[in-house]
Structure 1
Amino acid sequence: MNDKQHTIKAPVTVRGIGLHTGVEATMTFCPAPIGHGYKFQRVDLPGQPIVDADVDNVVDLSRGTTIEQNGARVNTVEHTLAALVGLQLDNVLIQLSGPEPPIMDGSAAEFIHALQGVGLEEQNALRNYYEIPDTIRYMDNARGVEIAALPLSDYRLTVMVDYNSPVLGSQHATLADIGQFANEIASSRTFCFLHELEHLYKSNLIKGGDLSNAIVVVDRVVADEELNDLAKMLGKPRVSVKKEGILNNVDLRYKNEPARHKLLDLVGDLALVGRPLKGQILAARPGHAANVAFAKKIKKKMLEVKTNPVPVYDPAREPVMDINRIMQVLPHRYPFLLLDKVIYLDAQMVTAVKNITMNEQFFQGHFPGNPVMPGVLQVEAMAQTGGILVMNTVPDPENYWQYFLGIENCRFRKKVIPGDTVIFHCWLLAPVKRGIAKMKGQAFVNGKVVMDAEMSAAIVRKDNA
């Protein structure tokens, strides 16, 4: 799995009809900055409102997942989101000229091909994974649905379905490596049973449904008169089926294509959690309603952790910024450059590391015989960490100075001594306005807070300083 965030190198457009609305639409995938996530934009509506791909924005689950925000609605988002997750993309703006993404061939393959065609671009920030901490379960006994997430340092999914059908029978599909999504899962098409078709049509759904973009499973003998009615409903001169099988005798791309498509849907629906996941997902008889309910449970668990963040530092992991890159952004130099590396950076927060050794110049005069890092230098190191975050808000940080303006509610909770590794973590309390930033910062040693403070800083262009 990728360590760094990714977007696409250039915009790319697909066109087609929506499965349920039947409205033709143009959909353009656009590059987006670090920390942007997945957002849809209804460019056909006044003000071109944005709809965040967030489970809290789900408003309808009628044979697809529909989200709504700012008075704008986007239908059937799961295939689009599955393609983004399957390519391990993090930041993409999806501009849409209608109410629903094009259904294309009923799978995510054409989205994958379009995105791969323009190329993926690595961004200078680590992916903000949510690692499943312990087992999370969802059950719907009435429908026989069960979904579980287990801890794992990777993202794997297994789906089991049983439609009590002589055509499909019991099936399962597994994706052991998310990097194989494009090859193993993306081309699996959406499907329904013949007995569902008329109900869906009368429910004002599948207006864009066609035998070229959906598989219709026939699990009973069908009379010629009914086939003629189906042909009229689907706008075809005729339709046929060999006994029990697939309408118009379409060949399946895989023996377990329906199970693979259910896995595709699950990947897309779980994207609404808002962060890339690490965990083992096991799902029996999943559907959009269950997927979204499960995604809400994961997000609730995720937010519980987020309220008390303790950054994790892996020394073996490549940093976002090494000391050379830090010196390109900050004007500080020895002995006043107090950071060694930056291990996380996005538009809202930053995490940096300082290794404390007895060789630090300040230990020569600060409590000889009882070396303690001066609190004022802990504050300075925190301010430099915040400076990295503030400089990240401008495209050309080398042309700016960053000045420390103030500090409030500063507390020193534990001594910092030689041998400690201090993790400095800062985040914006409000958007940067007129070059002024307000931040909250915490310093951790061995997972415990040793210092915290609120700070304000200004960034000024060098030619105006």
Structure 2
Amino acid sequence: MQKTIKQAASCTGIGITGQTDCTAMFHPAPPDTGIVFIREDLPGKPEIPCRPEYAQVDARWTSLVDNDIRIEHTEHLLAAIAGLGLDNLQIRLNSPFIPVVSSFSSREFVQTLSAAEPVLQDKAKKYFCVKEPVCVENSFFHQDKRYDRFLLALPAPELILTYLLDYPDKEIPTQTAHFAFGNLSDFTSELAAARSYITEREYETVVKLIGKNIEDCLVISKGPLNLQWDNEPARHKVLDLLGDIHTMGRPVKGHFIGFRTGHKDNNQLCQKLKMQVKEELCT
């Protein structure tokens, strides 16, 4: 069955660029509404539904964009919504930005939406189902050597995400993370709190993008790290992938396997996937 929340709730934090405080206010919505963002700071309070045709990646995060109306940094909130199995919400914003919370993880969003009491609704849940394999293949160069990356979606009876993290210089040890999303408690305890990270060589580039938010970002250096799990970086990649997949606008059934991939690859796959499953829904 579809699910919404029983009562309104909100999260406040700093926008992704580190320049302004912002608030996301969550409200219940009727069955078949989907996830709808509302820019209350703009005349007419324009709405952007969470759909793949509005998803794009301009920097190091995913946004929803309709003409000049933007919803910035959607992945960690959408991961929380997907992980909790919520189908119908209004999300009212007082700026273009979804606030950064809990060290760029989904933990505070999960806590807030859980406290708002998720409730079942009287309509069956509708899924996008991967019907046949879909793959995105890209590459990058590091020190004049080419490295490949790929993201593959396969049919599966539930949502399963697998990620292999592998940096050319091994700034982070090669590691994997694998999750099947059939158990809400596993998502809450084992994935939602996985923090975003950068490597030391990325620091100067990233600080120009996110300003003082860099203080809440896990920086991977040669010294000892206080990781929550040995594979926390790979777990965060799974969290990002979950949020980006949810730009499809509905829960998805399929097995997604990523190797060295990021937001741009996730978005490319969703654009391919929407053509396959445009009107093909499953229960």
TM-score in terms of structure 1 length: 0.56
State the 1:22 CA deviation. 2.7
8 Å contact from structure 1 (residues 52, 69) kept in 2: no
Structure 1 residue matching 2:161: 3-state secondary structure = strand
Asked whether 1:274 is paired with 2:280, we answer no
Asked whether 1:163 is paired with 2:138, we answer no
Q: 1:88 to 1:150 in 2, by over 3 A?
A: same
Q: Distance in 1 between matches of 2:191 and 2:111?
A: 13
Residue aligning to 1:82: 79
Residue aligning to 2:144: none
- Counterparts of residues 212-361 of structure 1 (less than 5 Å): 213-218=216-221, 244-245=222-223, 251-303=226-278, 306=279
Asked whether 1:145 is paired with 2:158, we answer no
Residue aligning to 2:195: 189
Q: Distance in 2 between matches of 1:250 and 1:209?
A: 19
State the 1:208 CA deviation. 4.0
Q: Distance in 2 between matches of 1:18 and 1:156?
A: 30
Residue aligning to 1:38: 35
Residue aligning to 1:111: 109
* Aligned-residue CA RMSD (Å): 1.8
State the 1:72 CA deviation. 1.6
Asked whether 1:47 is paired with 2:44, we answer yes
Structure 2 residue matching 1:98: 3-state secondary structure = coil
Counterpart residue identity of residue 131, structure 2: P
Structure 2 residue matching 1:141: 3-state secondary structure = strand
TM-score in terms of structure 2 length: 0.91
State the 1:104 CA deviation. 1.1
Structure 1 residue matching 2:164: 3-state secondary structure = strand
8 Å contact from structure 1 (residues 23, 99) kept in 2: no
Q: Distance in 2 between matches of 1:59 and 1:22?
A: 22
8 Å contact from structure 2 (residues 83, 181) kept in 1: no
Q: 1:155 to 1:95 in 2, by over 3 A?
A: same
Counterpart residue identity of residue 190, structure 2: E
CA offsets, 1:432-457, max 9 Å, x none?
A: xxxxxxxxxxxxxxxxxxxxxxxxxx
Residue aligning to 2:26: 29
Asked whether 1:91 is paired with 2:88, we answer yes
Q: Distance in 2 between matches of 1:153 and 1:198?
A: 43
Task: Give the number of the structure whose alpha-carbon radius of gyration is greater.
Answer: 1
8 Å contact from structure 1 (residues 41, 96) kept in 2: yes
Q: 1:169 to 1:77 in 2, by over 3 A?
A: same
Unaligned regions of 5+ residues in structure 1, if any?
219-243, 313-343, 345-465
Residue aligning to 1:417: none
State the 1:21 CA deviation. 4.6
Structure 1 residue matching 2:60: 3-state secondary structure = coil
Which of 64, 69, 74 pairs up with 1:67? Answer: 64
Counterpart residue identity of residue 253, structure 1: Q
CA offsets, 1:283-332, max 9 Å, x none?
A: 111200000000111111112xx2xx6x87xxxxxxxxxxxxxxxxxxxx
Q: Distance in 2 between matches of 1:275 and 1:77?
A: 15
**What number of residue pairs does the alignment pair up?**
274
Q: 1:116 to 1:263 in 2, by over 3 A?
A: same
